[in-house]
Every structure is written in structure tokens, then in C-alpha cells.
Amino acid sequence: MKASAVEEKAVSGMVVEVAGASYLVEDDGGTLYRCRTVSGTRSGNDDESLVAVGDRVELRLSVSGKEMPEAIIVSVEKRRSQLCRKRDLRRNRSREKIQVIAANIDQLVVVVSAYDPPLSPRLIDRYIVFAESEQLRPVIVVNKMDLDDGGAVRGMMKLYEGLGCRVCYVSAIQLTGIEELRDILSGCLSAFSGHSGVGKSTIINLLLGEERLRTSETSLKTGKGVHTTSRSVMLTLPSGGRVIDTPGIREFSLSGISQENLRFYFSEFLPFMPECAFSSCSHTVEPECAVRSAVEKGLIDPSRYGSYLLLHESLEDDD
């Protein structure tokens, strides 16, 4: 990337960092601009997040001749995919704000840890549902595999390999799995997401070959991760491809997914759904449900069905 003075003209580029009301945009030639929005900034999206990392935007130069030129974001293109999280509004706890933290990504890299904090299949299932709904390739990166002495975690992850998910086993301490992950990320824009403390920033530093992101250990007091990434930032990998490091997410949004359409994002349900007695079967209480029958026969993993029931209960119906 480089920063230089530019002539005043319309410029298009990609948002590579968001810090409050300030945005860093890289144009197609690699020039960086410090940007802001104005009341007249147009957006092709209808959510509350006007600008997110990964957005394609059009700029108008406002100040040139500086080390880094400044510009105004005139318009934001419609996103083809997005990763969101829920945020409580401090002044009104009864409302939640949906914040877009990564846009226009090709694949979603779900980073979990084998232990410390412990692996959560329920969280993985939630991410896979989201990836299916946004038509993203899900990649599951299991870090801290040096702690999986008995192989229990590999056994647990066979379920997701069977669902067609790419699973990459990594040990940031032993430096294993990093080359495989580099190959998976090459040529793509990938968003890294997961709970704090699982090692997202450590893995990205290894991929970059330098320490660009702050890291921390899991809290000894709570056993949970400590937030180190406070904002989304896009980074270019030396081996090709770009990654967006996102804040540690305790609860991300399943915006656009309802109780009625959730069933379509559990791929193992699809072969059995046409055999249900009711075309609108929710696969929860209806009689002659082929999906529930498949669970009872062992054709659908019971833990995945359990995740479906929990998610179904947590979603508000659009009707």
C-alpha cells in the first residue's frame, strides 16, 4: 500500500479499516485515503451500518498534498455478503443494534480452540447456519491442537468434515497447520471470526510473518477470552489473499434468518424434507416429520438436530 497526493477526481476503492467515524480506503492502485462520511453519503444497503470493512465505495477528494490524502465517501455499493454482530444500545437496553463488521467476503473462517476456552459445537453450528444463509464457504480452524493429546477434538470434528466443511487443525505454538491455512486463504477475501481467546490474532500474525495484531491469553479468572481486537481491519497476506480480523464476538447476528427458513440452512435436512407430511413442517412437533424420523434412525446427527431446536427457539418468526 502507498499514500500520495492525487488529482481531484472520482475515485473508487475498498474500505480496509474502520475506527469510529474515520475510515481508511485503498483505491485500486494501492493509494490510501483517510475518509469520512457526510449527511449526503448514499448507500446501496438498508441496514444501520453505513460503512464496513470490505465495502466498495466511491470517494471525492477533500484535501490533497498531505502524507495521506483525505476524502469524503460519496456512496457505498450494495454488499454481496456481510458478517454482523449484535450490540446492546447502552441508553436503551431493550433495543439491539445490528452492526456490520465485514462486507463482501468470500469465505467465513470460524476460529475455535480445542481447549482453553473449550470447543463449542453449538457456536460452530450457529456460524455454519450463517455461512449457508450468506452463501459463504465455511472454514473451521481449530487452534491449540497441541492440547488435544487423546484426539477427542479430531473425532468431534469428523461430523463437520462429513458436512463438507473445510477443517484446518492448527497449533500456533507448534506452528502446525499454518501452511495449509495459507493455501485455503489464497486468492480470497476471508473474515476471521470467533470468541475472544481462541487465537485469531496470533494465527493472523503467523500468516503475515510479523506481529501486526495484539494478542492476549485466556482470562484465568473467567476461563473466557480477553478482547484484544476492538475493530475490524483488513490485512493483505504475503502469500496472496486478504483477511479481515474482526472483534471477538460473544453473539453475532442471524439477521435475515427466521424460524420458517432456518431449516434450509441445515444441509443434512434437505434430502428428507420432501418426505414430511407437511410442506411447511418446522421439524419440531409436527406428526410424520421425516427429519425427526431420520434423527431417530441415526441418519442425522442428534447434536446437530439439538442445535437446530435451540436456534429455532431463539429466533423470532417473521410472520
What is the reported pLDDT for 89?
Answer: 46
| pLDDT number for residue 210 | 72
Q: How far apart are CA 36 and CA 42, in angstroms?
A: 13
How would residue 228 be classed by pLDDT, with cut points 50, 70 and 90? Answer: very low
Work out the number of other CB atoms within 10 angstroms of the CB of residue 294.
19
CATH fold group of domain 10-76: OB fold (Dihydrolipoamide Acetyltransferase, E2P) (2.40.50)
Residues 49-58: tens digit of each pLDDT: 899 999 999 9
How high is the pLDDT of residue 52?
94
Instruction: Please give the CATH topology (third level) of the domain spanning 262-314.
Output: Ribonucleotide Reductase Protein R1; domain 1 (1.10.40)
Percent residues over pLDDT 90 in the chain: 66
**Which residues neighbour 188 within 8 Å (Cβ) at sequence distance 6 or greater?**
106, 107, 241, 242
pLDDT at 21: 86
Mean local confidence (pLDDT), 268-285? 97
- Residue 307's pLDDT is 97
Asked if 124 and 111 touch (Cβ cutoff 8 Å), the reply is no
- Tell me the mean pLDDT in the region 65-93: 78
In Å, what is the CA distance from 189 to each residue of 141, 228, 237?
A: 16, 22, 10
Confidence of residue 92 (pLDDT cuts 50, 70, 90): very low
pLDDT confidence of residue 131: 93
Over the chain, what is the mean pLDDT? 86
Distance of alpha carbon 143 from alpha carbon 170, whole angstroms: 5
Query: Comparing 49-53, 205-209, 245-249, which segment has the lowest mean pLDDT?
Result: 245-249
Q: What are the residue ranges spanned by the domains of the chain?
A: 10-76, 100-245, 262-314
What architecture is the 100-245 domain classified under in CATH?
3-Layer(aba) Sandwich (3.40)
- Give pTM, 2 decimals: 0.84
Q: How many CB atoms are located within 10 Å of the residue 249 CB?
A: 19
The cell for 226 is 480477553
Q: What does DSSP say about strands 32-43 and 22-27: parallel, antiparallel, or unpaired? A: antiparallel
3-state helix/strand/coil string of 86-119: EEEECCEEEEEEEEEEEECCCEEEEEEECCCCCC
